[in-house]
Structure 1
């Protein structure tokens, strides 16, 4: 049977990313306590296509993915997955992103009630032939923010809102990436107050007052997170994007920053 995809192409255009997206498979993600959490991942998996080739072999992406969906996955497994893609697809570069919901346990501050908070997370691996894996962890962390200006000018309280900080981190070669739970806790601590799925009245009073005692603009939250991320041992690069879903405006407040800590 003739392989059309492997035929030559005369247009002289190399394609940086070609492959599949919005594929879905279960994966096991390592938890802080040494166990594993089963997640459903939305996947984008691509390779670099040389100018001389008409197309890539789309079926091979699924063939590569399936065995990895049945075992715990972290940086070493993603490195092996991408190395396999380079070999089976005759490519010089490959990239895969797994986006998934990850649940962390939260304990209410006064009543002690336990609940699970869902976080939007991602693992992204990039690999070029002959080079080490570049692994990026992404975590979107929700929290409460309270406006310092509103607190200053108001006789009765201050306006607050739910906020989210979207953080992406990459660590240098030889340094383990931070765990999801630890990165989420670091970011959450720089808001006005944490978010809890389950709160009793005594807890609601506590977190309301906690936020009132820690007012922060979106710029404050961003800068405090930048300082916290810079202190992480071995971090090579990070990006932070903070967004406040404003309660008294029909728009959101936003701030973003990225930097390379060490090349």
Structure 2
């Protein structure tokens, strides 16, 4: 048997602890819960990391991938905790962080013609395990349309409108559907957006949005109100970014709960 030195476990030149060290950009097919269909197959971008004590030179990067290879592939609270536990054991770490970012698909019917089209929403699951305690966060990025109330009030014709994105992060008790977060985000804008619109749908969306003008501040407050009223949400952070159509910059607003 050939002896191979474990360089990672050797003494660090600079004895300084590292908060997080790991791998990112891994792509993995996963299965997530779908309220309508039961389950949905998608692909996640995965980031994995652990803390590293001051005395060790490096961590064993291959062990992250080994943990992922042994994971069952169905994403829920318990399987997520199992994977984090495995990472802690394999890397002999005190704490571990795990993030899954994935597209989640819902079929949306246009408001008048009822033509169907798939909408994708960027969703994320974050977990931080330290000394056996898991902090688990679920989030969704939701596109909406906004019309500027000021522009509408001061213009003889029309008003500037644009897409905005409602980015929601939550902690919760029990089980929380991604669809709940998406629906809260969609209700916060001037109008929701669709992948497929016929002419009659475009007329409806435009007129609905102009009938409900919203500042970015209005959107973030409306989303926060929806999260406050959700019986399972215990903490949230919501950020709204408006991709301004008449400026070379975005406007944004953030609300974080006290929970």
The TM-score bracket by the shorter chain reads: over 0.9
Contact 1:36/1:72 (<8 A) preserved: no
TM (norm. structure 1) is 0.93
Aligned to 2:146, the other structure's residue is in SS state strand
Deviations 1:86-117 (A, max 9, x none): 11111110011011111111111111111111
2:111 pairs with one of 101, 109, 112: 109
TM (norm. structure 2) is 0.94
State how far apart, in whole Å, the 1-side matches of 2:73 and 2:242 are. 37
1:29 partnered with 2:32 = yes
Map of 2:159 onto structure 1? 158
Deviations 1:221-262 (A, max 9, x none): 11111111112224232111111111122222211122232x
State how far apart, in whole Å, the 1-side matches of 2:218 and 2:243 are. 15
Superposition deviation, residue 120 in structure 1: 1.0
Contact 1:145/1:192 (<8 A) preserved: yes
Superposition deviation, residue 62 in structure 1: 0.4
Map of 1:203 onto structure 2? 201
Map of 1:176 onto structure 2? 174
Map of 2:83 onto structure 1? 81
1:231 partnered with 2:233 = no
State how far apart, in whole Å, the 2-side matches of 1:237 and 1:79 are. 19
Superposition deviation, residue 177 in structure 1: 4.3
Contact 2:10/2:57 (<8 A) preserved: yes
Contact 2:8/2:57 (<8 A) preserved: yes
Map of 1:145 onto structure 2? 146
Stretches of structure 1 lacking an aligned partner (at least 5 in a row): none
Map of 1:20 onto structure 2? 23
Superposition deviation, residue 9 in structure 1: 2.6
Tell me whether 71-80 or 198-207 shows the greater mean CA deviation: 71-80
Map of 2:217 onto structure 1? 219
Q: How does 1:54-73 map to 2 (within 5 A)?
A: 54-68=57-71, 70-73=72-75
Runs of 4+ in 1 over 4 A off after TM superposition: none
Q: 1:186 to 1:194 in 2, by over 3 A?
A: same
Superposition deviation, residue 196 in structure 1: 0.3
Deviations 1:107-158 (A, max 9, x none): 1111111111111111111111232x21111211001001111111222222
Aligned residues: 256
Map of 2:131 onto structure 1? 129
Q: Give the aligned CA root-mean-square deviation in angstroms.
A: 1.4
State how far apart, in whole Å, the 1-side matches of 2:258 and 2:159 are. 36
1:248 pairs with one of 227, 246, 259: 246
Contact 2:51/2:93 (<8 A) preserved: yes
State how far apart, in whole Å, the 2-side matches of 1:21 and 1:114 are. 35
Aligned to 2:15, the other structure's residue is in SS state coil
State how far apart, in whole Å, the 2-side matches of 1:9 and 1:249 are. 50
